[in-house]
Amino acid sequence: MLTFIVNNKEVKTNAPPASSLVDYIRNELHLYGTKIGCREGDCGACTILVGEMAGGELKYQTMNSCLMPLGNADRKHIVTIEGVNGPDLTPVQTALIENNGTQCGFCTPGFVMSLYGFCLNAGKEKNLANAIEAVSGNICRCTGYKSIEKAAAAIVKKLQPPQRGLLVPPQREPSGPMPGVMPMEWLVKNKFLPDYFLAIPEKLKKIAPAGAAAVRESGYIVAGGTDILLQNPEGAMTSGNVNFVYGAREYKRIKFADGKCYVGSTVTVKDLKESRELRAYFPRLDDDLKLMASPPIRNMATVGGNIANGSPIGDLCVMLLALDATLILRRQGENREVKLKDFFIGYKKVNKDPEEFIQWIYFDLPDENTRFSFEKISKRGHLDMATVNSAMGITLAGDVIKKAHFAVGGLGPTIRNMAKTADYLLGKKISNQTFKEANLIAQGEITPRSRAEYKRALVRQQLFIHLMSFAPGAISLEALQ
């Protein structure tokens, strides 16, 4: 039986745990404020808040309830638009109305919930750029967005810094206080949220599991569900033998040991994006991962899921291939390791048994001579899969390349590990000549299945950008002529 809190009410249900949360919210709880637009994670109409106790602190993040398996709601606080309503309109709702940010209203609950995600996200500065990023997964057909941007700006203004004495002291990362903390007391006092929110931590503690959720050894693995609920593979939803791993805390962490970085498979894209430790090694990580999906999908999508689904355009897969990553997998008590470059064997086919669990992904930590670059071209700037994506990692000895890995997605059934191009680069200095010769080899390594000429041009441009980012003065635009 699943137990969770929806708005101010505890719910217990035996509904199928692999069904979609939005259906439960609308069909069983009759809360119709949460809308269904696309059922594909693309429109944001179904956005809700999901609150969870982590490290003694209640943290909320937005999720798309159309792709969220009901089982992932277990022991959590689910907040729908009805759950933020009070006797009067809240400051978030008022800002949308006063700035003409709503017309037909179909998208509005989703926008409101995404803006609440911004208000409640302790790790984000309360500025306009972050408010706009929070709604980057919401689509509106009526208002033209400018009025919604104005509403976002008004909300930023209303979010005054927390007052002394009201701050709930959350457990901080060792590197210092997080920016943009907006404690619950302040939001309740200023009528952003109803009073009942203050009692949620105690209620959640009562229904929280005694120990950390362990990963079972069998069953169809479901993590964030963003792929599974999109594709609804036959059997997985109805068999009942489902292995929910999203909550497995053991693998929801990034650890560093012996010069290597170990990323747990249930770490989400948001966790990666916001990891201060990783950003110290990969300064562009935040910007790179902004190109991946939308905030609610990034909050749900796990690293393990991105790898295991074997998509030929998976952004994390391309990045991890360029870091020459290795997977640690577990099945029936046995562990084995597989190099990521040997993992992708066909379109959405990977070198693993369906019940085999990816525990960790590890790679050598970059040193001061290592350079890393990721590029992605897609039709839209946000919330779009890649047309072509690629990543390159190199290690230099002086100005000579002594290690290189290059991976390209979007060209065929699997992501391409560009071993010949990488081998060619060994022992070379970055120059126009090196780029031209590397490009000739790269073009020989690829056989784009569609729009071949266009995709070949994208590979060439991305190779150029990688090399230029590694040695800006050593290569010039003339190389492209």
Residues contributing to the site for ligand FES (CB under 6 A):
36-39, 41-46, 64, 66, 102-108, 140-143
Instruction: Please report, for residues 373, 443, 457, the alpha-carbon distance to residue 477 in angstroms, rounded to integers and kept in the order given.
Output: 18, 19, 15
Among 20, 147, 226, 414, binds ligand FAD (CB under 6 A): 226
The residue among 159, 155, 161, 145 whose CA lies nearest residue 95 is 155
Is 315 an interacting residue with respect to ligand FAD (CB under 6 A)? yes
Dihedral angle sign, alpha carbons of residues 323, 329, 335, 337:
negative
Q: Select from 402, 394, 415 the least CA-distant residue to 468.
A: 394
Three-state SS at 172: coil
* Token output for 47: 């956005």
Tell me which of ligand FES, ligand FAD, none is bound by residue 304, counting a contact when its beta carbon lies within the kind-specific cut-off of 5 to 8 angstroms: ligand FAD
Where in 44-73 is the site for ligand FAD (CB under 6 A)? 67
Binding mask 331-370 toward ligand FAD (x if CB under 6 A, else -) reads --------------------------xx------------
Between residues 25 and 446, which has the closer beta carbon with respect to ligand FES? 25
Pick 32 or 256: Cβ nearer ligand FES: 32
- State which residue, 385 or 422, has the beta carbon closest to ligand FAD: 385
What values do phi and psi take at 366, rounded to 5?
A: -60, 140
- φ, ψ dihedrals at 15, nearest 5°: -60, 155
Q: Is residue 224 within the footprint of ligand FAD (CB under 6 A)?
A: yes
Least Cβ distance, residue 297 to ligand FES (angstroms): 9
User: Could you tell which of ligand FES, ligand FAD, none binds residue 46, using a CB distance below 5 to 8 A set by kind?
Assistant: ligand FES
Residue 358 interaction partner, one of ligand FES, ligand FAD, none, beta carbon < 5-8 Å per kind = ligand FAD
- What is the torsional sign of CA 72, 74, 79, 82? positive
Distance CA 238, CA 228 (A): 12
Distance (Å, whole) CA 112 – CA 43: 14
Strand duo 344-346 + 2-6: pairing: unpaired
Choose among ligand FAD, ligand FES, none what residue 154 binds, the Cβ cut-off being 5 to 8 Å by kind: none
42 binds ligand FAD (CB under 6 A): yes
d(CA 412, CA 9): 49
Pick the closer one to ligand FES by CB: 78 or 418: 78
Q: Which residue's CB atom is positioned nearest to ligand FAD?
A: 305
- Centre a 10 Å sphere on the Cβ of residue 380 and count the other Cβ atoms it contains: 7
User: What is the smallest separation between the CB atom of 197 and ligand FES, expressed in angstroms?
Assistant: 24
Number of other CB atoms surrounding residue 263 within 10 Å: 23
Angle at which helix 91-98 crosses helix 146-158, to 10 degrees, equals 140
Which of ligand FAD, ligand FES, none has residue 43 at its interface (CB below 5 to 8 Å by kind)?
ligand FES
Q: Which of 119, 45, 112 is nearest to 85 (CA)?
A: 112
Residue with tokens 């809360």: 31
Pick what 51 binds: ligand FES, ligand FAD, none; C-beta below 5 to 8 Å, kind-dependent. none
Structure tokens at 399: 């100005």
Q: Would you say 99 or 434 has its CB closer to ligand FES? A: 99
Q: How far is the CB of 362 from ligand FES (least distance, A)?
A: 33
Interface segment toward ligand FAD; rule CB under 6 A; list 150-158, 308-316, 412-420, 458-466: 308-316
User: Residue 302 touches which of ligand FES, ligand FAD, none (CB < 5 to 8 A by kind)?
Assistant: ligand FAD
The least distance separating ligand FAD from the CB of residue 308, rounded to whole angstroms, comes to 3
Q: DSSP H helical segments within 194-322, as ranges? A: 200-207, 228-231, 269-274, 276-281, 285-290, 295-300, 303-308, 315-322
Shortest distance, position 265 Cβ to ligand FAD, whole Å: 4
Euclidean distance between CA atoms 298 and 292, whole angstroms: 7
Residue 157 DSSP code: H
Is 237 a binding residue for ligand FAD by CB under 6 A? The answer is: no
Q: Rounded to the nearest whole angstrom, what is the least distance from the CB of residue 316 to ligand FAD in the complex?
A: 6
Q: Are the beta carbons of 193 and 93 closer than 8 angstroms?
A: no
The partner in contact with residue 227, picked from ligand FES, ligand FAD, none with C-beta cut-offs of 5 to 8 angstroms by kind, is ligand FAD
Q: Which is nearer to ligand FES, 44 or 409 (CB)?
A: 44
Q: Contact residues for ligand FAD (CB under 6 A)?
A: 41-42, 67, 221-228, 230, 245, 265, 292-293, 297, 300-302, 304-306, 308-309, 314-316, 357-358, 385
